[in-house]
Amino acid sequence: ALEKKVVKSKAGEKVGLPCCHEIPISESLHNYRVYWQKNTTDVVLAYAEGKMIHKHERYEKRTEMDDRNLTLWISPVEILDNGPYQCVVQHLRFSQNSVVVCDETVTLFVTADFSTPNITAEVSNNSCESTEMVVRCSSHGGFPKPKISGALNNVSVVWNTSWVSKSSLSLYNITGKLRLNVTKDVSFTCSVEYNGFAKSSSLLLKKQNDCVVPLVPPSYNVITASSIIIIVFLLAITLAARYLPRHVCSHCSKPQDSVEEGVKECLKTPVSSKVTSETSSV
């Protein structure tokens, strides 16, 4: 079995597809018929007796063939150029007969670079313990269909991934989404991988620091104890206001028959010093 030949290129570059035969120096292209065809049905380029006899309209102004090693050059290469190409070479030994000297297939694999991944993080819920975030990673304009991967402090995470493309041979856009509970500041990495290539971006995810501890209402026991203290305090003030005057006047009380007479005695108007002097002189 013949080893399958694969040529890789990126969209927009110039690529050469090698043929299975090289014309010796002693001969020229006039002695050959050369057919380059895609998918064994569409003739891309055809030469007979040294002249080009056919070129596919989609490859117009984008293709040429080396007249010695018969390499097919395509520039600029496009995503739609992906696929198998067959080189068929016939030698014109006689004017009416030809001999196939070469018939081989080479596969062209065209890729397109994806954009650098864009990472966004949106806080959906926040608590004192952690910050819940919705993280999105997106990239566009690449080929073939990629896969997306990510890591949180070098620990892999699982994505919810979606792709957008018009067809299997069109450029892809990719978006990955996941939810994370961030308990501390962590480094997050997102990578888009395609055909052995990768584009990556990193973002520092920060735990929100604006944690507000809710005020806890006092318990029933605290309220009850506080009420009792307030009531006792008010009773103490009331009793002090009521019985304090009696205590102040207790030094002037005399033994009498009743408490009311003692109170009256204390409240009696004192005699002036002048009257007392006059009485003494008499």
Going from the C-alpha of 202 to that of each of 65, 119, 120, 149, 179, the distances in angstroms are: 45, 8, 10, 12, 16
| pLDDT > 70? residue 96 | no
Domain edge (last residue) among 150, 173, 205? 205
What is the average pLDDT across 163-174? Answer: 93
Query: For 127-136, how does the pLDDT look when each residue is reduced to its tens digit (9 = 90+)?
Result: 777 788 899 9
Query: Is 143 in the same domain as 172?
Result: yes
At residue 164, the pLDDT reads: 95
- Determine whether 72 is exposed, middle or buried from the number of CB atoms within 10 Å of its CB (0-12, 13-18, 19+): buried
Same domain, 125 and 138: yes
Average pLDDT over residues 96-102: 84
Strand order of the β-sheet with 172-182 is 118-126, 131-142, 172-182, 160-164
Q: Are strands 172-182 and 160-164 parallel, antiparallel or unpaired?
A: antiparallel
- Whether the bond between 144 and the residue before it is cis, its omega within 30 degrees of 0, is yes
| Number of structural domains found in the chain | 2
- Report the CATH number that the domain containing residue 52 is assigned in CATH: 2.60.40.10
* Nearest one of 113, 159, 164, 163 to 136, comparing CA atoms: 159
For residue 9, being part of any structural domain is answered with yes
Lowest pLDDT segment from 59-68, 103-112, 135-144, 229-238: 229-238
Q: Are residues 128 and 69 in the same domain?
A: no
* Domain encompassing residue 184: 115-205
- Model pTM score: 0.66
- The residue from 184, 205, 226 where one domain ends is 205
Comparing 237 with 43, the larger pLDDT belongs to 43
pLDDT at residue 140 in the model: 96
169-194 per-position pLDDT tens digit:
899 999 999 988 888 888 999 999 99
The reply to whether 99 and 52 lie within a common domain is: yes
Pair (34, 82) in one structural domain = yes
Using 50, 70 and 90 to split pLDDT, how confident is the model at 257?
Answer: low
Residue pLDDT, tens place only, 218-241: 565 667 777 788 887 777 777 777
Residue 144 lies in a domain: yes
Model confidence at 213, pLDDT cuts 50, 70, 90, reads low
Phi, then psi, of 252 in degrees rounded to 5: -105, 10
**Considering 60, 78, 110, which residue would you say is the last residue of a domain?**
110
- Indicate whether 227 belongs to any domain: no
Residue 136 CA to residue 122 CA, distance in Å, equals: 9
Report residue 5: phi and psi, to 5°: -95, 130
- What is the rounded distance in angstroms from the CA atom of residue 266 to the CA atom of residue 263? 5
d(CA 232, CA 234): 5
In a domain, 154, yes or no: yes
